[in-house]
Structure 1
């Protein structure tokens, strides 16, 4: 099943992206394709970072059943696995980060150049082909105890299909042609799925290899890299996240752009999210390695 998932949602989107790029020699990309790509990239990415990651894995805020179900659907459309499986694997990652048993650490293959390259490839791609499957009864009993969410989660493959059909239908209707539907499928569907996969995989590989480490963590090699915050919905502040995994905000300073947290703040302003957790200035100061603690007043009052 893991190999099947890898072929369906990693290999085929890569092939589809090559086809989309090849088609540019015949039909230049236009506003429709670009709009569908970025809209679906944002919707599915927020489903992953806000729903799968911050809400379901770390309980960084609270919301109602309807919003929770919406976030499961948004995240599922990314094709990165079902919410329950994703949360179980990610909780295990935090439990064993960069130590034996971490499913996707790049730092467990030796210190030689070849070992580092093998580790990077493992963390970015090959771990998904075949890996241990964490016991969901052990890692996510709180999620398994919510029958409505488990039910929504059980339609994972249907939601992936919906994520492909939406841009296909919009492309066909807006362009009024079969080519519009094909372009919507290629750019808003498979190419977008490939881009989201690459961004999420980079959190495992790049963000445990390159970047700054401003905070003490539990013996892992998590890093911050600002460019990845833009490419991965705020996930690039990965050292921040490992230092404060319960925090709804990954960006802890005003200049640390975090679209996922901005979305949570919008939900909170609409009364759709509450109990939004962020670390206090005192806790940040205790974790800080070099510089004085940042001013997080805006976070705490947000």
Structure 2
């Protein structure tokens, strides 16, 4: 299967290669990155004592679950399987909605996210991969350093992936460019909406505050670490039933929390496949969501796996 990345790389062969990076973040952007990463993380740490007897209601739990699911699917179904790998096509309202949902996960604007991830696949677990855990060697100390780098250390680096090289299709999409420019607005919205709902439902400032904390900051922090675990854990440990050129593996404990993203081995063996959990018992919530969207006619041309293709990709098959 030919991906958008494949096509852009083919164009470069006649035009000369573009660099991997387009520069570095400016100081204001770097400060914002630190804030968006560290503040939710601080909230996650604070959550442990806060859960001990006060400050958490069933409303907070419900809002956490709702906003977690909404923004997680924005990343997995939208940012990843649609915009990065073109695993299916979506009608314009659905494309815009998925871009907004992904933006509210506070992981970066859609074009930036896609450029980084396509670069990851182009150089997976080799020099050029922005977040491989294997870049520093295989000794215990090197692997510890690699885990930190793959999990979140790479985010604090100031290098910016060349979006013209890795995401030219999205840079030419006026709808996605517009959502990209509104990233700060959607980031603000993802924290304020739970607070507004919590306040209105309980009709109290306390309800707004606890919803802001649990369904805002803590939810974003948990979602960050689940997503980052696909970069770190799923490239270090787990089963590898399919052939891929890297160390991507399946890690079942994260399957539900990641909405199927932790079935990472098949994804790297067949990146454009809309379903990652293809074996018996492998729950893939993102694939099921795409299936539902397809039934409603909101998406189409879905690249579902076939038995013949899976057989060719299986370990031990030529």
Instruction: Provide the TM-score with structure 1 as the length reference.
Output: 0.93
SS in 1 for 2:249: coil
Count of aligned pairs between the two proteins = 291
Alpha-carbon distance between aligned partners in 2 of 1:255 and 1:25, rounded to the nearest angstrom: 35
The correspondence for 1:277, drawn from 294, 300, 303, is 303
Deviations 1:130-184 (A, max 9, x none): 1532211111111111112211221011101111111111111111111100011
Alpha-carbon distance between aligned partners in 2 of 1:149 and 1:7, rounded to the nearest angstrom: 25
Say whether 1:43 aligns with 2:80.
Answer: no
Say whether 1:210 aligns with 2:237.
Answer: yes
Deviations 1:187-208 (A, max 9, x none): 1100000000000110110000
Deviations 1:241-273 (A, max 9, x none): 001100111111241100101111111111101
The correspondence for 1:53, drawn from 80, 87, 94, is 80
Say whether 1:148 aligns with 2:195.
Answer: no
The correspondence for 1:164, drawn from 182, 191, 197, is 191
Say whether 1:226 aligns with 2:255.
Answer: no
The correspondence for 2:103, drawn from 54, 66, 76, is 76
Shift of 1:288: 0.3
Say whether 1:239 aligns with 2:265.
Answer: yes
The correspondence for 2:279, drawn from 247, 250, 253, is 253
Give the match for residue 201 of structure 1: 228
* CA RMSD across the alignment: 1.5
SS in 2 for 1:90: helix
Instruction: Provide the TM-score with structure 2 as the length reference.
Output: 0.88
SS in 1 for 2:291: helix
Give the match for residue 133 of structure 1: 160
Deviations 1:227-248 (A, max 9, x none): 1111211101000100110011
Give the match for residue 12 of structure 2: none
SS in 2 for 1:108: coil
5+ long unaligned stretches in structure 1? 292-302
The correspondence for 2:41, drawn from 1, 8, 14, is 14
1:200 and 1:232 in contact (8 A); partners too? yes
Alpha-carbon distance between aligned partners in 2 of 1:85 and 1:34, rounded to the nearest angstrom: 31
